[in-house]
Structure 1
Amino acid sequence: MTPAQPQNEGPGDAPTLDEVARLAGVSRATASRAINGGHRVSATALAAVEAAVQSLGYTPNPAARSLVTRRTDSVALVVPEPDERVFTDPFFVHTLRSVNRVLASRDLQLVLLLARPGDEERRMLRYLRKRHIDGALVVSHHRSDRLADHLAALGLPSAFVGRPIDSADKVAYVDTDNAAGGRLATELLVDRGCRRIGTIAGPADMAAGTDRLEGWRAAMRDAGLSDDAVVEGDFTEAGGEAAARELLGRFPEVDGLVVASDLMAVGALRVLAEKGRRVPDDIAVTGYDDLGVSERTSPPLTTVRNPIGEMAEQATRLLLEQIEGERDRQAIRVIFPPSLVRRASA
């Protein structure tokens, strides 16, 4: 005779944890541990509980599960930038998409925290301190936000996309070799025959800005060329346009231009067109990122590929390993090599 299967006829008859335990032939405590991560549960018991959950259609109560695991099943993406930039810059679009891809496969929720210096930053830190999330990913950080120090002090699982400009020894991070990328772009123009090469650098309070500038300087020194034609930008299109006007005003003789981001290069190309400087005939131009913008410029932009999708996914996996206790919260670093993408501008 076949045993009767449990019947759930309405909302009040939802299967309980006790029923799961009885069907699996284990204690209530073992069933709870199996459902909430499988810690200290034998493979046999775990399989029995999983089969019972499937048979009964049991769904754990999120609040009760949180009390047991002390987990919120959510991860914060912290971006200390103005919201208007986050939703227009392809760098952030690619980051969000890549992070969410990894979290969705684990059924985890993404919480976006935008925090400009001041009251917004203080609110964000209070939110993190109260452990409303299981861990934090940080992207586009500046020296002034001191997020590496704050997160290390909180003991919160965290990972950075891009090297923190200070306190990089305190947190895990994933980055690309920006200095090598800056060197690649500059050496291309040197090999092309350019001898008065200027650069629109990134912000001096961000590691990507300083590292790409150092790569440019190293290549210029090796080629025996002057490295005085430098103007700092802010990684935005408008910032690139303003920097290009200043650079060309101070150094009108430049025949090569290394720009630290594709968005800034868009602004620079606009200025060059206004001034009648043909690209690449009169002046060769390179960008940095290759996140879709460089393919649509006129002419298409030679650039250095910044593997932000792979970096964001790797940083998310590092964070999840910390949350799951599979990896200690230590200063792990993963560095991706840059690569040059040749198009018509150089």
Structure 2
Amino acid sequence: MSRVRSAPESVDPRGAVTLDQVASAAGVSRATASRAINGGNRVSPAARSAVETAVRELGYRPNLAARSLVTRRTDSIAVVVPEPDERVFADPFFARTLSAVNRVLAEKDLQLVLLLARPGRDDDRLLRYLGNSHVDGVLVVSHHRSDGLSDRLAALQLHAAFVGRPWTHADKLSFVDTDNVEGGRLATQVLLERGCSRIGTVSGPADMTASLDRLEGWRSAMREAGQPLDVVEQGDFTEEGGARATRALLERHGDLDGLFVASDLMAAGALRVLAEAGRRVPDDVAVVGYDDLGVAERTTPPLTTVSNPTGELATRATRMLLESLAGGEPATPMRLIVTPTLVRRASA
């Protein structure tokens, strides 16, 4: 059985403990010490224990560059956000998402690499970076049809997972999503149950699956109730975008008495416009948002909204990606759909 010996007197001129010193202290060969440190299989339990003890007692820190040549791992995960910088730093969705991802990665001693890609401008640079094995896996957040990430990541055969259903290759890529169709239906049903007779919606961008699914949920509930489907204005998931869309709806439909807004940030803009127009909420116009990430509690009045469990989605997608990495080659795609819930407050 191997046992830990005293460290030799010779040291690295920079003062760092070397792999040779660890091997000598553990009483094993340099190759065995390297395999034990880098997770190799051909190491006896006794040798592995001796190496671990030597590493701990000598304070050895592996050369990460050298280790990556052996393991072909970078110990880092890219989080790709194809959105303008100003939106990423203003929307609580992204703060909640990144916090959840980083928490899971920190548990595994992995590094988060944030890659912001301005839509239509940074695509080639981003794909070159990902294709050159600078990271072990990719997590995509806020995917747009125009960014082409679902097509290109499927072609690269990288370990990847999406927060939100990808536009294409949903059968080849792992993703976690909330049932946005059901969420849109739940929100609209609240307004129908109040007796609203002219119910409009501010949808999200037309190039995002979440936007289209929430809009389809609104349409489904309206269709079942025999209500018109033309009271629609597109927003962009920002507060100002929600304000612009609401102004347009009021100009076209002065009798609007119910409004489903596809994000709480847009709903905050909608409430501002309704107040400016002298329309009381919920007496004149009842409003329901979507997300419940803190904004809904601070509006006047507080928003009835659909909970989008962003932290849970990001956590599960990250664990899904790490499970794929643990298996070596990209695994069979995994998919998880989370059921949304309604949070009732004063706006409806």
Name the TM-score, length of structure 2 as normaliser.
0.94
Following TM superposition, by how much is the alpha carbon of 1:185 offset from its aligned partner in structure 2, in angstroms? 0.7
Q: Are residues 87 and 130 of structure 1, via their aligned partners in 2, closer, same or farther at CA, if it must alter by over 3 Å?
A: same
Q: Distance in 1 between the 2:42 and 2:6 partners? A: 31
Which consecutive residues of structure 2, in runs of 5 or more, have no partner in the other structure?
none
Aligned-residue identity in percent: 68
Q: Are residues 149 and 329 of structure 1, via their aligned partners in 2, closer, same or farther at CA, if it must alter by over 3 Å?
A: farther
Structure 1 counterpart of 2:247 = 245
Aligned AA for 1:268? A
Question: Which range moved further: 323-332 or 238-247?
Answer: 323-332
Q: Distance in 2 between the 1:325 and 1:150 partners? A: 22
Q: Are residues 80 and 13 of structure 1, via their aligned partners in 2, closer, same or farther at CA, if it must alter by over 3 Å?
A: closer
Per-residue CA shift, 1:220-274, capped at 9, x if unaligned? 1222222221111111111101110111111111211000000110111111001
Report the secondary structure of 1:334's partner residue. Answer: strand
Following TM superposition, by how much is the alpha carbon of 1:41 offset from its aligned partner in structure 2, in angstroms? 3.3
Q: Distance in 1 between the 2:116 and 2:155 partners? A: 20
Q: Which residues of 2 match residues 25-44 of structure 1 at below 5 A? A: 25-44=27-46
Q: Distance in 2 between the 1:40 and 1:178 partners? A: 48
Q: Distance in 2 between the 1:248 and 1:323 partners? A: 51
Report the secondary structure of 2:35's partner residue. Answer: helix
Which consecutive residues of structure 1, in runs of 5 or more, have no partner in the other structure?
none
Q: Distance in 1 between the 2:140 and 2:242 partners? A: 25
Q: Distance in 2 between the 1:149 and 1:41 partners? A: 41
Following TM superposition, by how much is the alpha carbon of 1:188 offset from its aligned partner in structure 2, in angstroms? 1.1
Structure 2 counterpart of 1:276 = 278
Following TM superposition, by how much is the alpha carbon of 1:3 offset from its aligned partner in structure 2, in angstroms? 6.9
Q: Are residues 13 and 111 of structure 1, via their aligned partners in 2, closer, same or farther at CA, if it must alter by over 3 Å?
A: closer
Structure 1 counterpart of 2:113 = 111
- Say if 2:20 is the partner of 1:24: no
Q: Is the CA contact 2:158–2:330 (under 8 Å) kept in the aligned structure 1?
A: no
Q: CA RMSD in A?
A: 1.9
Q: Which residues of 2 match residues 160-171 of structure 1 at below 5 A? A: 160-171=162-173
Q: Distance in 1 between the 2:267 and 2:274 partners? A: 10
Q: Is the CA contact 1:8–1:14 (under 8 Å) kept in the aligned structure 2?
A: no
Q: Distance in 1 between the 2:43 and 2:337 partners? A: 37
Name the TM-score, length of structure 1 as normaliser.
0.94
Structure 2 counterpart of 1:289 = 291
Q: Distance in 2 between the 1:9 and 1:24 partners? A: 16
- Say if 2:62 is the partner of 1:60: yes
Q: Are residues 24 and 3 of structure 1, via their aligned partners in 2, closer, same or farther at CA, if it must alter by over 3 Å?
A: closer
Structure 2 counterpart of 1:123 = 125
1:98 to 95, 100, 120: 100
Aligned residues: 345
Report the secondary structure of 1:310's partner residue. Answer: helix
